[in-house]
Amino acid sequence: MKFANSILERLFGTKQGKDISGQGEELQTPGQMANGEQNKEDNEAEKFLVHVPENQLEIPEDHALNQLYQLRREQAGGLPYPELLLEGCEAMPPEELKRELKRLDAELTSIAVSRLEEAAPLQVLPEEPEIVEDENETDGEEAEVNGQEEQEEIPEPELDALPVVFVSSNKMQAWIMVFPPVGQGRDADEEMLVRALKEKGVTFGVKEERLRESLKKPERYFHLIQAAEGRDVVQGEDGYIIDYFSRIDKRQIEVDEHGRVDYASLNLVQSAAEGDVICEAVPPTKAVSGRTVLDQEIPGRDGKAATLPKGRNTEISEDGSKLLASASGRLEYSGRSFQIKSMLDIEGNVDYSTGNINFLGDVHIRGDVCSGFSVRSVGNITVDGVVEAGTVEAGGDLIVAKGIIGDKEAIVRSHHNIYTKYLDNGIVHVRENLYTDSILHSEVYCDGEVQVVSGRGTIVGGTVRAAGGINAKIVGNRSESTTNVMLGGQPCADFERELLLENIEDLEEEMEALERQPESPARTKRMNKVRLDLSVDKMKLGQFNKDMEKAEKKQEVRGKSRLKCGIAYPGTVLTIGNETLHLTQETSSCDGRLVNGEIKLL
């Protein structure tokens, strides 16, 4: 094998079997080298073998690439061991990663074998020719000279560095590994790497700085580095709806400052006013196309627009982004769309099954309004049953088919008219007119007329205040029950003022009770709240008094305000303005009015 040894000596600049330091130690085969030096640090080798990353290609000891590495090491001295790591593939699914490594192995093996054949053609040599011994010593020397001449005739391999570009299956990654030069071949440079990438078609996402830096490092050869990375496609996001009202009726239990739960306030009804924004559509986003390292576009999918759930009495804004209420009323979600019902229909009673009602449209109650519950609406309220000791307030007309039984606790208010079968022990506040068959022991404040002419047509007990007059069949009774009838003035404003005064009185009493209690955080907190409420109510009262004084100055003399009735019994007290008349005898066809500053029954 002297012939082969001589060729390798000239090829790599040293003798086979010697290391570059010239210490005379025999070089090991690629497999022996891989284990030989590593055996000096067995623990580190074991760690390396155990913790091989999943995205790293492992090659056997007799692989052509390992043999090329050994030949280069003989020529250039110390050289980092080959590392074939697919950077950027850490998150790739295991099966896909295995396929990529398999492709890399096949490609590198093919190129390494071809490169090895060019770099060391004498690795596999034919058997040396048999030299026939001759008795003539001169003939032997001539044969040896002839052998040397044949040996010198074989040219020395000279190969430039060879960059190898590997592109992933999805064309989103490109790596490059450089085989070192052989003999006097050209060393790797930036131009060589860029040319190799272009020849492979890699023109997008090239990591130029990374390539330049890699050429300066010892591991510039036999190391796989990431040379280019594509741009992932960004899919468009679908549009979506932002709801400002709930699609599900929720029972919201509210706890007050004393830890008590008001089970009547369950907030089962959602009300929307005309023009309210019910929900809003967030527009979809456009897709951002991706690009492969081969500069091929990867189209994305634009997001889909969300559809506004338009239903009855709703409309879409001009810009198409919002769903608006086109009418005021009860807002419901039917499962497919929002819709507004201008009338809230309660099939039964207003009780714990419904909770208190606060509605922006009309309300129709098929049953009763039970004691302790309230119904408030900006529209009309119709009650097919009775109103018990609760609170009913209508922005429009109030119709109570079977009457109001208040037990002095029912407060009924209407900003228009009230129609009821009867009124018994209730408090009524009506901005326009009151129509009923009878009024019994109730407090009535009416800015219009009180008409009690149907049915029995009786007013017995309590106080009835009417700015526009009272018309009834019977006022009072034979038992001479005290029945107050007051005409003119501002009954509704008086009512509001009375409520305000009562609230102030209650707050003052609470403040006095709190001042007698011992110091505590709860007492201090409550006193601050009561003090604030009291201050606000007193300010309201002051402003209220001023407004009433101005209204009284502008108000015309109520010459038309009169009491008209078929019979007025003793016990009836008639007040018009500042004048008061006590009836002491039964009067028929009574027409009481203010004449020249004096009440006359004509």
Q: Which secondary structure element, helix H or strand E, spans residue 555, and what is its range?
A: none
Are 577 and 596 in contact, with CB atoms under 8 Å apart?
A: no
Contacts of 42 (CB under 8 A, 6+ apart): none
The stretch 30-59 carries a mean pLDDT of 56
Q: Which residues contact 415 (CB under 8 A, 6 or more apart)?
A: 394, 395, 396, 431, 432
**What sign has the CA pseudo-torsion 378, 418, 563, 471?**
positive
Residue 473 has pLDDT above 80, yes or no: yes
Nearest CA to 166 out of 179, 149, 181 is that of: 179
Q: Which DSSP letter does residue 223 get?
A: B
Q: What percent of the chain has pLDDT over 90?
A: 37
Q: Tell me the three state secondary structure of residue 580.
A: strand
In this predicted model, what pLDDT tens digit does every residue of 383-399 receive, in sequence order? 999 999 989 999 989 99
Residue 47's pLDDT is: 44
Predicted local distance difference test score (pLDDT) of residue 241: 95
Query: Quick one: pLDDT band at residue 59, thresholds 50, 70, 90?
Result: confident
**Please, are residues 84 and 59 in contact by the beta-carbon 8 Å criterion?**
yes
- Residue for token pair 């102030």: 504
Residues pairing with 179 in the sheet: 162
Tokens of 468: 């526009």
* H helix or E strand, kind and range, residue 227: strand 225-229
CA atoms within 13 A on the CB side of 194: 8
- Neighbouring CB atoms inside 10 A of 184's CB total 10
State the CB neighbour count (10 A cutoff) for residue 206: 19
How would residue 410 be classed by pLDDT, with cut points 50, 70 and 90? confident
Can you give the pLDDT at residue 73? 81
State whether residue 127 is helix, strand or coil: coil
**Inter-CA distances, 248 with 376, 399, 499, Å:** 22, 31, 37
Per DSSP, the three-state class of 105 is helix
Question: What's the whole-number average pLDDT of the chain?
Answer: 81
Pairing of strands 297-298, 314-316: unpaired
- Please state the pTM of the whole predicted model: 0.52
Confidence of residue 237 (pLDDT cuts 50, 70, 90): very high
* pLDDT on residue 164: 92
pLDDT tens for residues 288-306?
999 999 999 999 999 999 9
Q: What is the per-residue burial (b if ≥16 Cβ within 10 Å, else e) of 162-179?
A: bbbbbbbeebbbbbbbbb
| pLDDT exceeds 50 at position 43 | no
Based on C-alpha coordinates, what's the Rg of the chain?
Answer: 52
Burial of 437 (0-12, 13-18, 19+ CB in 10 A): middle
Tens-place pLDDT, residues 145-199: 455 555 555 566 788 889 999 999 999 999 999 998 887 888 888 888 999 999 9
Mean pLDDT, range 585-602, rounded to an integer: 85
Residue whose entry in the numeric block shows the structure tokens 């890399």: 104
Tell me the percentage of the chain whose pLDDT exceeds 70: 80
Q: Is the dihedral of CA 70, 75, 79, 85 positive or negative?
A: negative
